[in-house]
Chain A
Amino acid sequence: MVTALTKDIVKDWLEEVKDPEIPVLSLNDLGVITNIDVSPDHKVVVNMTPTFTGCPAMDVMQQDVKDVLEKRGISDYEVIVSFETQWNSNMISEKGRIALKDFGLAPPPGHDMIVDIDIIERAKCPHCDSEDTEMKTPFGPTLCRSMHYCNSCQQAFEQFKPI
């Protein structure tokens, strides 16, 4: 007997697709997969939304999703990238936030959709958990990261910036 293909199964498959720039973070946990649809005839539609408009990793992520679907034997699929749902950093899951910290990147502070300078400056050091830190610049090595310095352990660190 063949098990029926469901949304949850597809979601589970996508767990193996990671952010190319942060290889510990799955696309599910990053929050860029906004919808998965499986029609009765097993056509799979995956909707995705970019973290940043100019994020060069988006094409790679989209291709990775396609590769996983093909690897699982799905030939009838569509992977749609759109701004219908806008990504924001609150969409990173709790598991994702822990993965970010383990990777050495401070997870973005939660916000109520209003991001101002106070929120970005409030970064907790991912190495020693100190809150005595200062922001050096909101622009880091990738669009999604800001750069900070910890006054307690005297290490520079990056934060996945709130947006």
Chain B
Amino acid sequence: MKDHTLVSGWLRYCRQWLLAWLQAAQQQTPKPPPRAAQGEHPMQKVSNISDLRLLFHRNERPIYFISATNFNLLGIDQWVNRFKYINYIDCFDGRHPNVFVPPQLPHEEFQSIEDINNYLLQHKDVVDYVERAGGRPVAVFLMFDAETERLCEELGIEVWFPSAALRERCDNKMETVRIGNKAGVPSVPNALCKVDSYAHLREIAAAHGLGEQLVVQTAFGDSGHTTFFISSESDFDRHAEEIIQDPEVKIMKRINCRGATLEACATRSGTLVGPLLTEVVGEAELTPYRGGWCGNEIFPGAFSEEVRAKARDMAYRFGNQLMAEGYRGYFDLDFLIDKDTDEVYLGELNPRICGASPMTNHAAFAYADVPLFLFHLLEFSGIEFELDVEELNARWANPAFIDSWSQLVIKHTANNVDIITHAPATGIYRMADDGSVSYHRFDYKRQDIESENEAFFLRISGPGDYRYEGADLGILITRGRSMTDDFALNERARNWITGIKKYYAAKPIMAVHEEQVPAPGAFKIL
């Protein structure tokens, strides 16, 4: 009897074990398909530029640049497989193979690029487009906020940028100064203080030795909108409200300076530094805003060797400090170069891609290696990498890796509002010997420009759009320079601007409700 119990117990034990084993075997997740089949690249580690090129050449994850236009990341789709643009404005009249523009819906008036992106992310055609493409989608933006992040999460889209909150912190001009100070990257002599009155401002300036001529900036703001030049009480009174309401403003000594900008990418292998670009600012043919950004140039002799070396070193150190602050990836630094002393100062930080990005990503080094933005994608891709950043930076510092290009952002400069009836199409234009400009062919690749007699025009405002003071009409990209050595627009650039603007025709507005007219500067594209 006892034996029998033992045997049956043993059998029961065996049976239970077998059942448990079978159950466990069934519950075991099936062997995952190869990473490549999941839309993942099989590459284990990126160690050099060839690996990086291959990685994105064979990328299977849909990556979307969601923005008003595709301008800022123009051409990245030629480096990254499955890179698509989801835009509000169709600059290409449906002819760009990688641009998706959903039919326009009535919407609240956009106050910002974030609003445009949030509108796009809730648009059924966009939702369908992203969901039907499948995969594990990724989005990159020029601008985004917490609402954008929430919408992306709902749609299962991963945002490949540091969080909006972190970006906002870094974007604060006071914070930029502090991060710079930590990194040993000096700003123009300044004080960061709350200002109560003009007298108080003077007190602060005296205490910090900032002199009589001051520049005051508020924490956030676009170029030309929140920078105040103050030499007298009447200057102060004009902007008093904006200055006093801020908990802290940046008060700088006014220097005789030139602006320059440089883009870089903070990665765990170190900060990659792009070329130093000149800035086109406040040109009356291009912008109604005094001090407003309206383009860039890149050319080998733009700055002295010393200035370039200083700026590059500052960007490198600043980027590494950003990594320490938790920010990683693409960023843009503005520099102020004192014309009297050749001293280089930190200006502003744009913790994002920006209007200068197309210049950086199409400079000669980008074709020799890869566009800087690919390092940003790499940093967020989750792929392991180890790059010789020092070697790359050394190469990109070589003037041979810089060719000469310029881009001009053409805004409507007249103080009127009308409706565009005709607009020049995006494509390549030619300039005749007499300086006149004519449309030559459709294209969406700016590098297809053959010579200085050709230009690529990216149309932004088209037929049916309102033309108002400050409206972006389009962007003109040319080989060679647009400025003279004294940094005024050269004759060729003037001819280009006149020639392109000539193609715009508009009709007056008849009985239009006021609310339908966008307020000047309601949002800007770049």
Q: Do A and B come from one complex?
A: no
- Residues of chain A touching chain B, judged by Cβ–Cβ distance below 8 Å, are none
- Residues of chain B touching chain A, judged by Cβ–Cβ distance below 8 Å, are none
